[in-house]
Structure 1
Amino acid sequence: MHPWRSVVGVTVCLLIAGCAAPGDTTSPQSVAPEAAVTAKAAPDTTVPVRPATPVARAPKDPAPRYLTVEGTTINMPIVEVGVSAGGAMEIPEPFNEAGWYRFGPAPGAAAGTAVIAAHVDTTSNSAPFSQLRSLAPGTLVTVQRDGAEAVTFQVTGVELMAKDAFDGASIFRRDGPPGLKLVTCGGRWLDEQQDYGDNVIVTAVPARRP
């Protein structure tokens, strides 16, 4: 992935790389909070960033375990991911798993944005997160949590953000209103870079209770 800009009020400075599962379910790629997401069966294209000290999640925030998105086939387990040796947020190897950046807020936390990312495709097929770009405002996103009731979010928008102009400050927040970002790759495939040119970013806010 390409470097993300520094995030205001955040101590991590990472990357989001490789959002396409190489092969069908193998070869881990990296993602980074404060950077862009890449895809396809491409080599690791992460860009080094300044060292960072991730801040652990508050114990009171239950970890997310499962993600479903209304009107799609996105129905996948969530695993906790951290930072790779290259300074990027890791993405699970299987294309049908999503990774939650455990050093940031958890879905359902009182403040800040939880970030969940996954591959967009494999060398032969689209992955579930390829459907993110077509989500309509109002779509419900449900996150099952470990030992706690599920939390539901409502999509407010979908953005295609160029990786070379990625605004990490708008993605990885540890303060402000609670929210959720779902991230994968998208846009045009760049043969020379063996990477997608953009990131698909879904923004969602806590759904109002009836």
Structure 2
Amino acid sequence: MSRPAKTATRRRRERPAVVMSLAAALLLAVACGTPPPGISSRGAGPSAPVASTAAAVPSAATPQAAPELPDIPLHEATLVPAPREPAPPRFLRVEGTSIAVDVVEVGVGANNAMVIPDSFYQAGWYRYGTVPGEKEGSAVIAAHVDTLTDVAPFAELKRLEPDARVTVEQADGGVLEYEVARVESVNKGDLDGAALFRRDGPPELKLVTCGGRWLDERQDYSDNVIVTAVPR
């Protein structure tokens, strides 16, 4: 029986979170705050006794010298540039293999699964997740394992050795280097999607394709092959 193109594992749609900025929170606190005890909301606070200043006023006939001011060194302020966000990935290469593919941004399809490009020469980066090069989280790039007539480059994932070099080229010309830490074959029914697409924790790159046995009744493979690579 001929085999149709496969899809990678299903993913749950990520729900955006609404976060109040620190500046907005502080502004709200100032606008809604209550004056401290002893301070009137209409003025500067209770009046204090005023001491007589007659003795402290110098005679008009006695000129007073102006006090000398100390020399205060001036330094030109230097603006600190804002942290640069990592640019999206545009190309992926794995040393010692035929894996050398363009990377395109993908989302979630109508079947609530991560979209996988049909082309042999493309892999999909899940754009709603972590960007390769961020300091936290797991960046996911996935591609097909085969088609009706041939085997795709990502079929080689299951044979990668530890420490194999993975190179990601970014849209702005930057280059990220990773090395393979482990290769796993996970039953699709046991896959932990939250861990795969996590947004916190150590920075990792996840390369995903199908693997295991072909199941005629499901028209799909039984497993996912997941390569975990870490920054070099």
- Tell me, yes or no, whether TM beats 0.5: yes
Match of 2:166 among 141, 152, 156: 141
Aligned pairs for 1:41-56 within 5 A: 52-54=14-16
Match of 1:163 among 185, 188, 192: 188
**SS, match of residue 176 in structure 2:** strand
The TM-score, its normalising length taken from structure 1, stands at 0.73
In the TM superposition, what whole-angstrom CA distance separates every residue of 1:94-133 from its partner, at most 9, and x where no partner exists?
Answer: 1221000001011111110100000000111100000000
How far apart in 2 are the matches of 1:166 and 1:66? 26
Q: Greater Rg, structure 1 or structure 2?
A: 2
For the aligned residue pairs, the C-alpha RMSD in angstroms reads: 2.1
Q: Percent identity?
A: 52
Compared with structure 1, are the counterparts of its residues 85 and 166 closer, same or farther at alpha carbon in structure 2 (3 Å cutoff)? same
In the TM superposition, what whole-angstrom CA distance separates every residue of 1:132-187 from its partner, at most 9, and x where no partner exists?
Answer: 00000000100000114200111001000001111123211100110100000001
Q: How many residues align?
A: 165
Compared with structure 1, are the counterparts of its residues 107 and 134 closer, same or farther at alpha carbon in structure 2 (3 Å cutoff)? same
Aligned pairs for 1:62-101 within 5 A: 62-101=87-126
- Structure 1 portions without partners, runs of 5+: 1-19, 23-28, 35-48
- Structure 2 portions without partners, runs of 5+: 18-82
The TM-score, its normalising length taken from structure 2, stands at 0.66
After the TM superposition, which parts of structure 1 deviate over 6 Å for at least 4 consecutive aligned residues? none
Aligned pairs for 1:1-210 within 5 A: 22=5, 31=8, 34=11, 52-54=14-16, 60-207=85-232
How far apart in 2 are the matches of 1:52 and 1:101? 11
CA shift for structure 1 position 85: 2.2
8 A contact 1:114–1:172 mirrored in 2: yes
Compared with structure 1, are the counterparts of its residues 105 and 149 closer, same or farther at alpha carbon in structure 2 (3 Å cutoff)? same
8 A contact 2:166–2:180 mirrored in 1: yes
How far apart in 2 are the matches of 1:60 and 1:116? 19
Partner letter of residue 61 of structure 1? P
How far apart in 2 are the matches of 1:33 and 1:114? 16
Q: Which has the higher contact order (CA 8 A, sep 6+)?
A: 1
How far apart in 1 are the matches of 2:84 and 2:111? 27
8 A contact 2:188–2:222 mirrored in 1: yes
8 A contact 1:32–1:89 mirrored in 2: yes
**SS, match of residue 186 in structure 2:** strand
CA shift for structure 1 position 197: 0.4
